[in-house]
Each structure stands twice: as structure tokens, then as C-alpha cells.
Amino acid sequence: MALALVAALPAVSLAGKAAPDLSQPAPDPVPESHPGLTSEPPRLAYLTETATGTSKVWIAAVNGSDAKLLGPGQQPLLAPNGRSVAVSLFGTASGPQEHGPAIGVYPSSGAAIADYLSLEAATATPLAWSPDSRYLAVYAQSNQTVGIAAASSLDVIDTQTGTVATIAHGVIYGASFARDGSDRLVYALAHSLSAAAKTNLYVAESDGAGVHPITSDGRSLLPVWGPSYIAYDRERQRRLSPEYQIWLATPTDVRVRKLTHVRVGSLVQGLVPLAFSAAGSRLLAEFEGEDTSEAYAVDVTTGRARALHVGRQEVQSAGISSDGSTLLLDTDSFEQAPSNGRIVTVPWGGGSPTVLVAHGAQASWND
């Protein structure tokens, strides 16, 4: 299963809401309201790193001001409440071999980092925070030379108690928490590293209880749980590379519909869903493939997908504001050192960019 970086089935409740009719477009709820999940001012986390220097994680006000260094790390992921930043610690250890913790959680206050898992066993990547910022989903990819898939796992860290629950063993292609306050999560799982391995979506509680599949086609991956739908990629096999289009599922009865119909060339994979706006009418995505990573905006009502541009710069998706009006983008950092890039915002409908960080990349926010 390529990843450019997922009979009747049991029902899943969406907080008592009736399942939306996927045969007809939902009415456009824009302008959207902020969900009120954050208890502090919005913040921005990002990475700086030169071609010869070490990676450094920073936190700043949402407009990029008052930046504060947190410490080493990769792939920063800001918690919804803005109080914590999860990072991968791979590549930050000193010495000839990786050792020490694999995942770190920095308090935005600058207090000491909390660390989890071991680099000697696995390379770990933060995937998703729960909406209440308590649980962190992590993919731990085994460092074994054989039996890698069986030894890899999706883990959920309870940052209040420090406990780690293993949800599933296998190769994980994305995870996302429900938006209804239930602490359930959806994830894509394969049991082999083979490109032909079947990959399906599963739902589980944050402690690993109640696991059940919500797809059975063997080609579903990269899920993002929105307020009404789970957006995910359904893969179509081709000779040179797979093709991804975004689909929507209602987890109450597992009805699905194809959302996007973009043209996908022979050496690229297609669209990967990344984040919904609060009301779910707008979706940020990334068009991925060989030497390709381009930001896209998707209208969930119509399925229209459009590429995002900032002049002639390379543009990658980083975030969408809760009200859907603003997009957070990384520019000129694809396949480059992060400090070569800039972090900007642009209006959903297009317009001039606002530079937040002049030298940085891998932006994450909670606006």
C-alpha cells in the first residue's frame, strides 16, 4: 500500500444525530461558528532546521509573534487547547545510534517535556489529538528487521495519567478522533507491508475497547473524522501507482459516496484528506505523488477540489481555521530544509498571503 506522508457491520452512534443523506449535497452552513474547544488564545507550532543544523520546535501566537523555543523534535502537532505540542523525537538523540524516548509532549508554558515509548523499539509519529486534548494517537513503526508489521502498532497516550494503550498491531495509514466528545478514533490498518495488503478502516475506544471495522473493501485508508462524515481515501490499483480519491462515510450505517473526481496522472497518487472546518463544509487536502505535494481545498457540498497557489511557490497544506475562512500553508519547504520555507495564511476564496513565519515549516495550529 503506497503512502506519500487509513455482510452488515456494527453501528456507531454520532451523539444521537440522524445520519445525513449522502445521496444529496448537504446545505452549505458557511459562515461557520467556532466550536469553543480552546480554553486559551490560539497558537501556532512549527519547525526550524537548516541543512546542517538540528530540528527545533517553536510555539508562537497564532499570528507568528512571541515565538518561544520548546526544544528538539520533528512533526510538531499542536493540541486543540493549545497547551501541548506533540513531537517525534527520531533524529534528535546524540550518538551513533538512536536511543531514548520516541515521542515527546512539550507544554506550551515551557515546562519540562513528557516523553513516551522507546526509540530502540520503534520510530513513533504523532497522528492525532482528541478534541479535549487528553489523548494522543501515535504510530509506532517497529525497528525490527523481520516481522515489522506485526511488531508495529497504533498506540494512544493518555497525557493525564501517562498510560499507553495499544489499539492495534500492524501498519497504520492514518488515525483521527471523533468530534462528538466520545474519545473514539478511526484508523486504517494493514497486516503487511506488501503493496497488495488489504487496508480497512476500524473504530475503537481510546483504551482499545470495542474495535470493529467500518469498511471491508481492503483499499480504504487515511481517515479524517469530521462533524458528520469520515473522509478517507479509497485506493484504485493501477500499473505504476495507486490512485486516491476522497470518499465520505457515515459511521452510523457505513453508507459511502465518492466526493472528489480529480485527474490523477500515472506517477502521482491523488488527494489525501487532512482537516475539516468545524461545520464540515470545507476540507483541506494534499495532492501527493512522486516529487509532488500540493495543497488543495475541497468543497464538501459540491465535491469541487481546487489547487492552492501562493505566487509561484511550492505550497503544502498545514491547517484550516475552525470557521473555514482561512487556510494555513507551508511554502517552499517541500523536499527542502524547513528553514528554507515560509508559513503563511490565505483566505479560503483566494487572495494575498499573510506571512506568519519567515523561516519555518511543518506548521500546526488550533485556530
pLDDT at 8 over 90: no
pLDDT digits (tens, 9 = 90+) for 82-105: 999 999 999 875 544 578 999 999
Residue 147 is predicted with a pLDDT of: 95
Q: 10-16 long-range contacts, Cβ below 8 Å, gap at least 24?
A: 10/212, 11/252, 11/253, 12/184, 12/203, 12/212, 12/214, 12/251, 12/252, 13/252, 14/178, 14/180, 14/228, 14/250, 14/251, 14/252, 15/180, 15/181, 15/182
Domains of the chain plus CATH, in order, are: 73-216 (2.120.10.30)
Contact call for residues 330 and 363 (beta carbons, < 8 A): yes
d(CA 297, CA 285): 6
74 alpha-carbon distance from chain centroid:
14
pLDDT of amino acid 327: 98
- State the pTM of this model: 0.88
Alpha-carbon distance of 366 to 108, in angstroms, equals: 13
99 touches 111 (CB < 8 A): no
Q: Decide if pLDDT at 15 tops 60.
A: no
Residue 139: is its pLDDT beyond 70? Answer: yes
pLDDT in tens, 310-331: 988 879 999 999 999 999 999 9
Residue 181: which pLDDT band, with cuts at 50, 70 and 90?
A: confident
- Whole-number percent of the chain with pLDDT over 90: 76
Q: What are phi and psi of 335, to 5 degrees?
A: 60, 25
